[in-house]
Chains A and B, each alone.
Chain A
Amino acid sequence: MTRILLKNKLDDCIAAWQKAGYSVLAPVQRHDMSSFDEVQKGSDMALDLILTERTIKDQFFPQTEPLIKYNISKKEIASETMTPPDKKRVFFGVRPCDASGLAIDDPLFGWDYKDDYWFKRRENSVIISIACTEADDFCMCTSVKLSPDSTKGADVMLRPLANGNGWQVDAVSDRGTALLESVSSLLEESSDEAAPVPQVAEKFDVEKVMEWLGDKENFESQFWKDISMRCIGCGSCTFLCPTCHCFDIQDEGDTYQGIRRKNWDSCSFALFTMHTSGHNPRNAQSTRWRQRIMHKFNYYRGKFGVNSCSGCGRCTRQCPVDMGITETLQAITNLPR
């Protein structure tokens, strides 16, 4: 027997959380774009999507984040530090790859200097992950040693019932236990079986990839030039990635007032590393693509003990030139040794 949440109790569940002061966010399809956004009832949710086009990362590390508001007058400069809204949030129906992405980025935003903007949102949020019942050709969670029902980064795990009536519900963290406590009257015991998770074939051998990337001899290999030839440096893969975290800090406004903002940036762009002198350490698209792959599967692991990829496959799914990380990692796997 496990606890289940029936679909016809979902609206009550949302209402109970709202009453307890939470906003509820879930996958929604609006116009041509699917993303995580606030919902009022179960029918607002697009839980059938294999994956939202935009990642849950947007809700923790927004595309643009106001840091400091400033006003400049003849006499003085007034500035005010801006903080993220102090709002408790429940994320319902997060795919395991997106939830893992948050857990992967935690050490980066926390090492030595703690990024308050990230952690304030993290500490105020409860992640309810949902196991996948379907995968597409781009999914690659198993290739990075995760799975369609991984609980990494989750506070509560949902497993869709085979009969389609609801979900098995398990708390996987203290925060999750507390959240379920608040709706315990809406849950019931049941022996209904969970739907099977999909088979996601391994697309590359991550051990082989890591070994090849770790060999200093390969840093200046012709491989990088050949494999990145198609890359147009648009940055889509980085913006749609649940773990990419690079940003810029810019003052936006007029002469007298404005806001200093933390904006998404991308290692795909030439300006990203350009010095004032004109010298650019990563002066070709191939060196920038190499940086992206090395960062994800070598440098990040060295620093934080985990690869900076959760296998969602968006980089490949949405790439305008049909490139993405998968192809590069497959090619590395298949290189003659």
Chain B
Amino acid sequence: MIYTPFPMRVVSKRVEAPGVNTLKLEFVNQEDHEFFKANYHTGMFGLYGIYGEGESTFCVASPETRKDYIECTFRQSGRVTTTLANTDEGDIVTFRGPYGNRFPIEQFEGKNLLFIAGGIALPPTRSVIWSCLDQREKYKDVTIVYGARTVADLVYKHELEEWKQRDDVNLVLTVDPGGETPDWHDHVGFVPTVLEQAAPSPENTIAVLCGPPIMIKFTLAALEKLGFTAENVYTTLENRMKCGVGKCGRCNVGSVYICKEGPVFTAAEVQAMPQADL
């Protein structure tokens, strides 16, 4: 039936930042896993749940090149996310999905890639990053600009370290002014400013941008200044969701259902939506 979720087993849990956890989940049933493998693409989302508490919507943070498991990263903030954060290895949680559209990564082939993320929005970006890095030969230069409020708030610290070591990835890290620690040697400043200083070329480049609304707004302006067109900038939108499949009526922005036509949009598509409804 349409709203029946898949049972998933928690195989590991990682604390990313204060209040932010990553769960690695494996399918309990083989047929559910086959369904996921056949349908999952980078950019899609799911509803993660625990019986007795409910369901919450977030992205699948693991890439389509690694479909043996699902990773999800979330901030602990309500009933469902608090209970999810308190699960132990071996516990059973639920997953509905994968839902929504995808990043058209095959259209990114042969191009330079610029990833820009702020704070807890690295997870959706990270799914695309790994999808591309796992097929590195298909893409040209890869630049990742990532910023958080403080050093502690940076998520996937172990992967940031890995990207930093790679000579086929250009990683630009920053924290907001005041968020640095004495041993911080990367940038201090807001993402749009740091991006402008890094000045990646818009020539044959696709930008993937995820972050809080205020960061998106200023980063889009910075990208425009650098010469990027709105058609070549991809982003994701998030709204409160309950069904995930275009029925419950709440996630639309204007006539666009985020759960069905999104969550992945080009900046041009977002600009065409009624801005007052965002």
Q: Which residues of A contact B (CB under 8 A)?
A: 67-68, 70, 72, 76-77, 79, 81, 83, 108-109, 111-117, 216, 219-220, 245-251, 253, 255, 258, 260, 262, 265, 267, 272-277, 279, 281-282, 287, 291, 294-295, 298-299, 302-303
Contact = CB atoms under 8 A, between A and B. Distances in A.
25 contacts: A67-B3, A68-B4, A77-B51, A113-B2, A219-B254, A220-B274, A245-B247, A246-B248, A247-B247, A247-B248, A249-B55, A249-B242, A249-B243, A250-B54, A251-B51, A251-B53, A258-B52, A265-B250, A267-B249, A272-B240, A276-B78, A277-B77, A281-B277, A287-B277, A302-B255
B52 A255 contact: yes
Contacts of B245: 112-113
A260 B252 CA distance: 24
Contact of A246 (B77, B250, B277): B250
Residue among B53, B245, B247 with the highest chain A CB neighbour number at 10 A: B247
A197 B276 CA distance: 44
Contacts of A72: 51-52
Contacts of A70: 51-52
Contact of A281 (B7, B81, B239): B239
B255 A76 contact: no
A307 to B, nearest CB: 13
Contacts of B3: 67-68, 249, 260, 262
B52 A116 contact: no
Contact of B54 (A108, A251, A255, A287): A251
Contacts of A81: 1, 4
A252 B252 CA distance: 26
* In the complex, the 10 A-B pairs of residues with the closest C-beta atoms, listed nearest first: A246-B249, A70-B51, A113-B245, A299-B255, A81-B4, A276-B77, A249-B242, A67-B3, A219-B274, A251-B54
A19 B81 CA distance: 52
Interface in B224-278: 238-240, 242-243, 245-255, 260, 274, 276-278
Contacts of B209: none
A303 B250 contact: no
Contact of A113 (B56, B247, B251): B247
Contacts of B278: 281
A271 to B, nearest CB: 9
Interface in B30-60: 51-56
Contact of B249 (A114, A247, A274, A298): A247
Interface string B204-217: 00000000010000
A117 B3 CA distance: 10
B1 A116 contact: yes
A67 B278 CA distance: 31
Contacts of A117: 1-2
A177 B92 CA distance: 50
Name the residue in A79, A251, A302 with the highest tally of chain B Cβ atoms < 10 Å from its Cβ: A251
Nearest to B79: A251
Contacts, number: 115
A303 B252 CA distance: 12
A111 B250 contact: no
A287 B247 contact: no
Nearest to B213: A279
A139 B73 CA distance: 51
Contacts of B246: 108, 111-113
A333 to B, nearest CB: 22
Contacts of B51: 68, 70, 72, 77, 79, 251, 258, 260
A245 B274 CA distance: 23
Nearest to B212: A277
A141 B252 CA distance: 27
Given A113-B2, A219-B276, A77 B92 contact: yes
Contacts of A246: 248-250
Contact of B252 (A219, A276, A299): A299
Give the most central of B3, B77, B213: most A CB within 10 Å: B3
A113 B252 CA distance: 17
Contacts of B274: 216, 219-220
Contacts of A274: 240
Contacts of A276: 56, 77-78, 81
B239 A273 contact: yes
Contacts of B2: 113-117
Contacts of A299: 252, 254-255
Contacts of B52: 70, 72, 251, 253, 255, 258
Contacts of A109: 247
Nearest to B255: A299
Contacts of A281: 239, 253, 277-278
Contacts of A115: 2, 247
A108 B56 CA distance: 23
A220 B274 CA distance: 9
Contacts of A245: 247, 249
A70 B208 CA distance: 40
Among the interface residues B1, B51, B253, which one has the most CB atoms of the partner chain A within 10 A? B51
Contacts of B81: 276
Given A279-B213, A299-B252, A287 B239 contact: no
A76 B92 contact: yes
Nearest to A238: B249
